[in-house]
Amino acid sequence: MTTAATSYWPADTTEPVLETTVGGVLRAAAAAGPHMPAMVAGMPEQDMRRRWTYAELLAEAERAAGALTARFSPGERVAVWAPNLPEWVILEYAAALAGLVLVTVNPALRPAELAYVLNQSGASGIFLVPQFRSPMAEFLAEVRPDVPSLREVVFFTEWADFLATAPPRAVLPEVRPDDIAQIQYTSGTTGFPKGAELHHRGLTNNARFFAGRIDLQPGDTYVNPMPLFHTAGCAMGVLGAAQSLAVHVPVLAFDPALVLELMEAERAAVFVGVPTMMIAMLGHPDIERRDLSSLRAAVSGGSPVPAELVRQVEARLGVRFSIVFGTTECSPLVTQVRPGDTAEDRAETLGRALPQTEIMIADVTAGAPVPVGQAGELCARGYLVMRGYHDAPEATAAAIDADGWYHTGDLASLDDRGYLRIEGRIKDMIIRGGENIYPREIEDALFDHPAVAEAVVIGVPDPAWGEVVAAYVCPVPGQPSPAPGELRAWCRERLAPYKTPQHWVFVDAFPMTPSGKIQKFKLREDFTAPPPPP
């Protein structure tokens, strides 16, 4: 329960934090179910869908770890720059077994961005594909003279040759749960990325708690189109499946037709995707002809999940929806909806804190817990919090206070049952003539309009009010675009007048991070007040 009618929720300690490592959970899975299916390559070509049992996955990971020890010393950083290949997953385990720190790199980066990540992390090596939607080998060659720490380059197309370099009897180091397992760079919704140092204990336990909340069972198939360079892909997906003895299907890259086909072919029990992915799948014609009766749960997060989208997915697919909320710095999940929660809570909240996680809604200026139901900054504390930002002590001190609370920067509220609701980012809050406006409420109202596929609300400067509300609207494909007057009337029926958008911009798509978050700062930068209607 909340404490003294303030928005503080203590940690549920009934489930323990285990002293586990990324490599250790694979070893445990291989011991418990050596012949159980572990991974299927989610490739578009069916003849490329290679399969591994847990024993086979461990054997290949240990061989790769041996090859790594011939090149790197424990504690060195090794980057991975590729789409969702099965070898990406094997390298994740292998680096952990070899005591290395895996630096996960977004395949969409351009040369200057790549050089920044490699230099900031001090990467000694990189694993990559020669090309994926851009000439990645050429990009690396272009920046390599400016990355002095980088001495080893391995292409995934030469994976067998790499494995062959493993010594016959490689000695793998002892790896501790509090060692850093990965450095993941923040996805850039606010611009400059920082490298979050994530430890083994945080990643493994967070994934286990997540899998437990969706009741992932041995033998269940988990279809995972989330990018592996993000915690939703390589922590929730990879490590959640392993600790459940489930089958993990990393999808090469999101395509709604491919995901629908894989869910049918592999008899998926669970699938995950950001809201944009869910919308694309619901709108794809293949959804009507695929047998998706094996599905039990759908998981989404990463950006606000409209309540109406939850209801649509549940109705169309016959599943229970589980919204997750987190941040890379928290390994990643803070709260999660249980599939057994009420229909209202599944659609309209972000659930309750995962085990062993304290949460507090703090006054943005004073820092003390706010009253129940009042908006403030969401803070989290516990095993899940990152060690800090790599080589950035000032940024770390700004994010994690002296009492160990990680300040997320998200505006949220907590009810008296401990269920969380997100109002938006602190920097996204709109102050119009002294009135605080939370974009999420307006976005949800617009999403309910039958002609609106997605909507994003921002604050823009105004000489009279300080800020006013602007709405970016993506219409439903194939339908006439709604007129601004129609949407304005729709909002006025549902919201107070001061919350109704003053400016309307219609777009075909939004600028996105590769992990599926809409980059509101780019919308603000590009905003030009449209002329008034005639």
pLDDT in tens, 135-170: 999 999 999 999 999 999 999 999 999 999 999 989
Does 485 score more than 60 pLDDT? yes
């980057």: which residue's tokens?
79
Does 85 score more than 80 pLDDT? yes
Neighbour count for residue 526 (Cβ, 10 Å): 10
Does 381 score more than 80 pLDDT? yes
Does 217 score more than 80 pLDDT? yes
Measured CA to CA in angstroms, residue 112 lies from 144, 182, 230, 389 at distances of 11, 22, 20, 20
**How high is the pLDDT of residue 187?**
56
Biggest alpha carbon–alpha carbon distance for the chain: 78
Mean pLDDT in residue range 367-393:
95
What six digits make up the tokens of 316? 């169309």
Does 188 score more than 60 pLDDT? no
**How high is the pLDDT of residue 531?**
61
**How high is the pLDDT of residue 532?**
57
**Band of pLDDT at residue 514, cut at 50, 70 and 90:** low
Element (H, E) at 489: helix 484-494
What angle, 0 to 180 degrees and rounded to 10, lies between the N-to-C axes of helices 256-265 and 275-282?
80
Query: For residue 463, with 0-12 CB atoms within 10 Å meaning exposed, 13-18 middle and 19 or more buried, which class applies?
Result: exposed
**How high is the pLDDT of residue 184?**
97
DSSP 8-state assignment for residue 481 = P
Does 323 score more than 70 pLDDT? yes
Lowest mean pLDDT among 217-226, 266-275, 349-358, 422-431: 422-431
**How high is the pLDDT of residue 189?**
44
Neighbour count for residue 386 (Cβ, 10 Å): 26
Q: Are 290 and 261 in contact (CB under 8 A)?
A: yes
DSSP 8-state assignment for residue 232 = I
DSSP 8-state assignment for residue 146 = G
Mean pLDDT in residue range 420-426:
84
Counting residues of the chain whose pLDDT is more than 90, the rounded percentage is 79
Q: Are 281 and 272 in contact (CB under 8 A)?
A: no
**How high is the pLDDT of residue 190?**
47
**Band of pLDDT at residue 530, cut at 50, 70 and 90:** low
Distance CA 373, CA 362 (A): 12
Average pLDDT of the chain to the nearest whole number = 93
**How high is the pLDDT of residue 100?**
98
pTM for the predicted model, two decimal places: 0.86
Does 23 score more than 90 pLDDT? yes
Q: What domains lie within the chain, and their CATH numbers? A: 8-414 (3.40.50.12780), 429-526 (3.30.300.30)
Nearby residues of 322 by Cβ (< 8 Å), 6 or more positions away: 213, 214, 297, 298, 299, 300, 336, 337, 338, 339, 346, 351
Distance CA 89, CA 234 (A): 7
Q: Is the peptide bond before 371 cis (omega within 30 degrees of 0)?
A: no
